[in-house]
């Protein structure tokens, strides 16, 4: 495809690195429940995708700016997310500086391009949901899917906000998750948090492997259930359960903002937030990167170096 030219309100970014998240693979294959699959068809395109290039998060350098852009100049190092605009699996990308659905900000100094590219999607989602749970200091938080793209940051942010964190994931990821600061780790193949009889102030089901009813059983009265990947049934029943059970249900994500990216950058540069990279692929091997993530082999983030 031709190298894009920035409009008056856009920056042209030379992408140095992007990353593969499970959501990219799910969107590529429309691997959702029937209700969500129909919805995503309407959003993404009924007969064929409206976007030719996948990829949501990136890190790179400003190559050129439009005449109305004053926030950035050529040479600035940025990181950000395109949201449902996609387009990050490419050498160049044009984005407006501030617009609903995507966000760009100055890249953390302490991170390489490859490291910074793994932060926006997972970091912003984790930050949004944990904030919706209210003050976390001294509260018990369970994170299901703690070793994934969102979970890696959710564990660290929950600890930063003062929570006691129980992390749930596969036994192969125990050491990695322990290094992030989790107080307790459950191997889902050996221990089922939904039937252990323990309760938590906050349950953050990142991967949606448990039904809403099972998760709510382990949420204390007055507590909060969070899900960044809810089942369709949970989206229907969530508001009702929230009213009748005295437990807050949060299923809706929020649009990315530059302010939140700045907040994450400050934590990173202060040494309070980091990423974990499992493997790196060149741009020409994006299909292999997707196969690797699809197989569930990643212990950390998978990066595409450009």
Q: What angle do CA 143, 21, 282 make, to 5 degrees?
A: 140
**CATH 3.90.180.10 corresponds to the domain 10-119+275-305:** yes
pLDDT digits (tens, 9 = 90+) for 65-109: 999 999 999 999 999 999 888 999 999 999 998 777 899 999 999
C-alpha distances (whole Å) from 264 to each of 104, 159, 227, 255 are 12, 14, 21, 15
- pLDDT confidence band for 213 (50 / 70 / 90): confident
Has this prediction a pTM greater than 0.85? yes
- Residues of the chain with pLDDT > 90, as a percent, come to 70
What's the pLDDT score for residue 234? 60
pLDDT above 80 for 32:
no
Strand partners, 184: 166
Name, in order, each residue with C-beta under 8 angstroms of 229's C-beta and a sequence gap of 6 or more: 205, 206, 207, 208
User: Is the Cα dihedral 126, 129, 135, 141 positive or negative?
Assistant: negative
Distance (Å, whole) CA 59 – CA 163:
30
pLDDT above 70 for 242:
no
DSSP label of 107: P
Highest mean pLDDT, choosing among 35-49, 90-104, 170-184 = 170-184
Name, in order, each residue with C-beta under 8 angstroms of 108's C-beta and a sequence gap of 6 or more: 79, 115, 116, 119, 264, 265, 268, 269
Region 146-154: what's the mean pLDDT?
A: 94
Q: Domain limits of the chain? A: 10-119+275-305, 122-250
Question: Smallest Cα–Cα separation from 264: which of 162, 131, 96, 65?
Answer: 131
What is the architecture of the domain spanning 122-250?
A: 3-Layer(aba) Sandwich (3.40)
């Amino acid at each position: 495809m031709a190298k894009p030219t920035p409009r008056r309100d856009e920056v042209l970014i030379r992408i140095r690195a992007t990353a593969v998240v499970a959501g990219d693979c799910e969107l590529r294959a429309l691997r959702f429940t029937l209700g969500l699959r129909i919805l995503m068809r309407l959003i993404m395109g009924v007969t064929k995708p409206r976007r030719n290039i996948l990829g949501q998060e990136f890190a790179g350098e400003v190559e050129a700016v439009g005449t109305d852009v004053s926030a950035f100049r050529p040479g600035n190092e940025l990181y950000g997310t395109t949201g449902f605009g996609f387009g990050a699996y490419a050498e160049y990308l044009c984005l407006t500086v501030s617009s609903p659905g995507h966000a760009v900000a100055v890249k953390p100094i302490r991170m390489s391009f490859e490291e910074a590219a793994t932060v926006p999607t997972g970091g912003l989602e984790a930050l949004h949901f944990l904030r919706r749970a209210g003050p976390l200091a001294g509260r018990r938080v369970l994170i299901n899917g703690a070793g994934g793209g969102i979970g890696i940051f959710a564990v660290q942010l929950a600890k930063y906000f003062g929570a006691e964190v129980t992390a749930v994931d596969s036994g192969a990821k125990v050491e990695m998750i322990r290094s992030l600061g989790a107080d307790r780790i459950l191997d889902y193949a050996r221990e089922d948090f939904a039937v252990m009889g323990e309760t938590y102030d906050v349950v953050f089901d990142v991967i949606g492997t448990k039904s809403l009813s099972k998760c709510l059983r382990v949420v204390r009265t007055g507590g909060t259930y969070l899900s960044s990947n809810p089942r369709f049934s949970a989206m229907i029943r969530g508001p009702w359960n929230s009213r009748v059970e005295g437990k807050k249900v949060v299923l809706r994500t929020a649009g990315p903002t530059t302010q939140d990216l700045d907040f994450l950058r400050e934590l990173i540069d202060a040494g309070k937030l980091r990423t974990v990279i499992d493997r790196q692929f060149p741009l020409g091997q994006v299909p292999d990167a997707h196969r690797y993530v699809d197989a569930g082999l990643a212990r950390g983030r998978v990066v595409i170096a450009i």
